[in-house]
Structure 1
Amino acid sequence: MDLSLVLAFAAACLIISIVPGQDMMFIVANGIARGRAAGVVAAVGMSTGIAVHTVLTALGLGALLAAAPVALDTIRLVGAVFLIYLAVAALRAARESTSAAPTPPARSLRRTYVMAVLTNLANPKVILFYLAFFPQFLTEGGWSTPVQFLVMGAILVVVGFSVDGSVGLAAGALAALLRRRPTIQRWLNRVSAAIFGALAIRLVTDR
């Protein structure tokens, strides 16, 4: 891969990362509900999921899954169930919040990280994206195809985290300002629940 191709790929990754998608909405929901740290940790989890997708695609497992529609459907349904669980948890937090306790409900950052990783891995469109987008930047000669996949995946992780981490910080900062009013926390959790629910519906219905 020459420098011009790498720069072109990085620019394409930046454009793709800026466009709001499932991962970004998940990060926003966590930042709104639980603050800046949760938003950034969610972004780290998404980047970890992308790294896993990169390795699997480099090993050829992505093409295998894409050739098996049943496997992709199973992954999609599992991801939808998981997002519904998050929506229900956010609604419960909204009901339990009171004016005397406007702080975000407790959830370990480790759990937020694991949830973000699983959410990314449960999205079969990421696999299809790798198979459709990455080959356009492959070159013959020099590095092998798996190595090129790994390099491009690393670039996508760096660029994607730069954008997603910033979004997580911004969402958490905005939520922190809004929480100064006692009743805002309940509505923030409701917004998070709505985002998680919408992502679950999209994951099931979007082909």
Structure 2
Amino acid sequence: MTLSLFISLSIALTLVAAAPGPGVIMTVTRTLQFGLIAGLLVVTGIVVMDLIVLIATLAGLNLLTLANQPGLLTLLMLLASLVLIVLGIQSWRRPIILQLDEGQASASHFMAGIAVSLTNPVLFYLAFLPAFIDIDALTLDDQIMLLALISGILTLVLGAYALLAAKLKIWLFEAHPERQRWLNRISASVLFVLAIGLIHSTITQ
């Protein structure tokens, strides 16, 4: 991988990661609701899921063949939709917290990252990467560099969103904790919309 290709790919990946999509929305809302630890766990889930897809792509696995397996892809997407719905219900019912804190680690935040990653095109890398590189021509060193580049950019960009949201949380709720109710409703609504969109795309594909 040449230096110019590395730079152009880095810029493109940064722009994609920074775009206000489902991953960014999930990171920000979970941080505002549950604190910085929760937001970083969401980021971890997103990065892990994206790396799984990328590794499968680099290994030559055509993920499109999943669609030919009896119900396998449908089951995966519906499970992700169920996770989003459950998280939405939890957000809607979450009480107002008068004492702001950084929250606690929870597997639900990590699963939220996994689930929201699936609301993006799971086969994104199959369409995105060939515009920059010939996947079949990558050496092992190139593949390792690519994995490190993507995971690093995702972590830095989404992590920055989480840090900013953690600062914003204090400004929003310290003097007006009742605002949390509106955030809980908005977060739940976003999760429900993502779940419905994922169900619809699964049924109609």
Contact kept in structure 1, 2:27 and 2:161, CA below 8 Å: yes
- Asked whether 1:67 is paired with 2:65, we answer yes
- Asked whether 1:164 is paired with 2:165, we answer no
Q: For 1:50 and 1:17, locate their aligned partners in 2 and report how far apart those are by CA, in whole Å.
A: 11
TM-superposed CA distance for 1:10, in Å, is 0.6
Q: For 1:122 and 1:193, locate their aligned partners in 2 and report how far apart those are by CA, in whole Å.
A: 18
Q: For 2:24 and 2:157, locate their aligned partners in 1 and report how far apart those are by CA, in whole Å.
A: 9
Which amino acid is the alignment partner of residue 178 of structure 1? L
Contact kept in structure 1, 2:33 and 2:183, CA below 8 Å: yes
TM-superposed CA distance for 1:108, in Å, is 3.5
Runs of 5+ consecutive residues of structure 2 not aligned to the other structure: none
Render the CA deviation track for 1:143-195: whole Å, top value 9, x for unaligned.
43x65444323211111221111111112221222212131222222222122
Contact kept in structure 2, 1:78 and 1:122, CA below 8 Å: no
- Asked whether 1:42 is paired with 2:42, we answer yes
2:115 is aligned to 119
Which amino acid is the alignment partner of residue 138 of structure 1? I
Runs of 5+ consecutive residues of structure 1 not aligned to the other structure: none
TM-superposed CA distance for 1:204, in Å, is 2.1
Q: For 2:35 and 2:102, locate their aligned partners in 1 and report how far apart those are by CA, in whole Å.
A: 11
Contact kept in structure 2, 1:83 and 1:197, CA below 8 Å: yes
Q: For 1:19 and 1:43, locate their aligned partners in 2 and report how far apart those are by CA, in whole Å.
A: 15
1:55 is aligned to 55
2:131 is aligned to 136
TM-superposed CA distance for 1:129, in Å, is 0.7
Contact kept in structure 2, 1:58 and 1:147, CA below 8 Å: no
1:174 is aligned to 168
Q: For 2:167 and 2:102, locate their aligned partners in 1 and report how far apart those are by CA, in whole Å.
A: 17
Number of residue-to-residue matches in the alignment: 198
TM-aligned CA distance change 1:29 to 1:204, over 3 Å: same
Which amino acid is the alignment partner of residue 39 of structure 2? G
Which amino acid is the alignment partner of residue 66 of structure 1? L
1:153 is aligned to 147
Which amino acid is the alignment partner of residue 39 of structure 1? G
- Given the two structures, how large is their TM-score scaled by the length of structure 2? 0.82
Which amino acid is the alignment partner of residue 2 of structure 1? T
Which amino acid is the alignment partner of residue 65 of structure 2? A
TM-superposed CA distance for 1:9, in Å, is 0.7
TM-superposed CA distance for 1:198, in Å, is 1.8
Is 21-30 or 148-157 further displaced after alignment? 148-157
Q: For 1:53 and 1:120, locate their aligned partners in 2 and report how far apart those are by CA, in whole Å.
A: 14
1:109 is paired with a residue whose SS is coil
Q: For 1:14 and 1:106, locate their aligned partners in 2 and report how far apart those are by CA, in whole Å.
A: 27
TM-aligned CA distance change 1:165 to 1:106, over 3 Å: closer
Q: For 1:76 and 1:124, locate their aligned partners in 2 and report how far apart those are by CA, in whole Å.
A: 11
- Given the two structures, how large is their TM-score scaled by the length of structure 1? 0.81
